[in-house]
Amino acid sequence: MEKLIIFDTTLRDGEQAPGFSMTVEEKVKMALQLEKLGVDVIEAGFAAASEGDFEAIKRVAQEVKNAKVCSLARALESDIEKAGEALSPTENRRIHTFIATSPIHMQYKLRMKPKEVLERAVKAIKYALKFTDDVEFSAEDAFRSEREFLYRVFEAVIDAGAKTINVPDTVGYAIPEEFGKLIADIKNNVPNIDKAVISVHCHNDLGLAVANSLSAVKNGARQVHATINGIGERAGNAALEEVVMAIKVRHDYFKDVYTTINTKEIYKTSRLLCRITGSFVQPNKAIVGDNAFAHEAGIHQHGILAHRETYEIMRAEDVGVPKSKIVLGKHSGRHAFKARLEELGYTTLSESEIDTLFQKFKKLADKKKEVFDEDIEALILEEFSEFDQEAKLKYFHVISGDNVIPTATVRIEKEGQEVISTACGDGPIDCAFNALEKALNIKGKLMDYTIRSLSSGKDAMGEVRVIVRFEDSEHIASGKGTSTDIIEASIKAYIDAYNKYMARKSFLTRQINEGV
């Protein structure tokens, strides 16, 4: 087997997409995660494009120790000098230089004759070798180039010292069968091709970037340019996670190659990019989308619960996702519903009680797109628990500002008695929650806090949702609160979570006692 080199261009081509620009610090952070992922080459930017890109490449070159760091450069001495200077902090470096070879690009963009393009390409390779012995050459818009000219250019740049020749489908025009044939033709028609690695760089304008890349690998390419989440110019680039997992899952088909990617870092890398760019992948995105390992249909859920491989070709854990997700909705069946009850700790319910709850669940599911755990617990407590609200808010007062210590006083009614408590904190919400915990005589760990507006205007009604783990319990409780005062909504949400926790605790205790 031969190693398939994974050339990540998230920080260069990926960042060129509108809305995906990154600061120097963000690029460094992303590069270090790419190194953990195990990519072979990190294209950190285009040194001549801006001072910011130059500085980012230099910082990445300083920080990254294992992956090769690369800078893009046009086939111009000034670009190549900038790239060489930016990469100077590391010996493990590559310069990636390019020039267009298609008739349309040569005529309208470059305004150069084919002979001039060939000469410029060779000159660029020789100049880049002054800065590093690892030079990659890209024939921009290779797929739409005339084949005989493309072969001549590749032969010439390899003779000049290029170690990698890259074949881009710059505008995403290729079809997999055609692109694979191009790679095979290059292997058969470039006399010195054995002295260089064939690389591919595919765009996704027709949604075929990954398919074209894999077709190229099958026909002899041994390096693939890709980006995390498939970000990039226009419709994006080949998605790294899809290329890598296709090679891994279908090793029976791609038996001639392997990658050294640590696939368990894929999900983490994807989410880091989302946080940095503020742009999230669509739910049905392969490998890293929220629904990639989620199942709602009852038949699928039953199959997954019986034997995972009935409906999953890879394990969620293989790409760093904690586990497959059974999504409860109107298509879900009784098997999935019962499994979720058991996961929530309701293991003592009788089959008739489960049947009753399942019928209520189906009615609720017809009204909601997705039924959450708290919805299920609400059904259980509504049906079986006689436990009233443990605590109610009677009064609160919060003092906060930039020159005072935030302090909250709350008065609650608990078990028929009024309790008043005061506490300080880091802000108005924190001190209010601290005061509540003193009044309730319980410790909670806030796992999540979200807020959204339910209407428009300055006096909009706000909804707060909290998820809390009380008393180191294995299970978490969620609560919601609404008010035009966001502090009041937060306090109500926390009390709601506490009441649900206590109701659940009482119900389980009663079930156990009745079982005994």
Q: Can you say which residues are annotated as belonging to the binding site?
A: 13, 201, 203, 237
Round to whole Å and give the CA distance between 302 and 253.
Answer: 30
The H or E element spanning position 32 is helix 24-37
Helix/strand/coil for 29: helix
Is residue 428 within 8 A of residue 402, CB to CB? The reply is: no
Helices 486-515 & 428-440, crossing angle to 10 degrees? Answer: 30
Cα torsion 35, 38, 41, 44 to 10°: value is -30
Provide the token pair at 164: 């990698």
CA distances from 340 to 334, 370, 374, 448 (A): 10, 14, 12, 21
Binding site for Mn(2+): residue ranges? 13, 201, 203, 237
Per-residue buried b or exposed e for 233-255, using 16+ beta carbons within 10 Å of the residue's own CB: beebbbbbbbbbbbbbeeeeebe
- Single-letter amino acid code for the residue at 15: E
Round to whole Å and give the CA distance between 387 and 499.
Answer: 9
Neighbours of 506 (CB within 10 A): 15
Q: Which of 467, 470, 465, 466 is nearest to 501 (CA)?
A: 470
CA distances from 422 to 294, 365, 432, 435, 436 (A): 44, 42, 8, 5, 8
Q: Which of 421, 436, 422, 443 is nearest to 391 (CA)?
A: 436
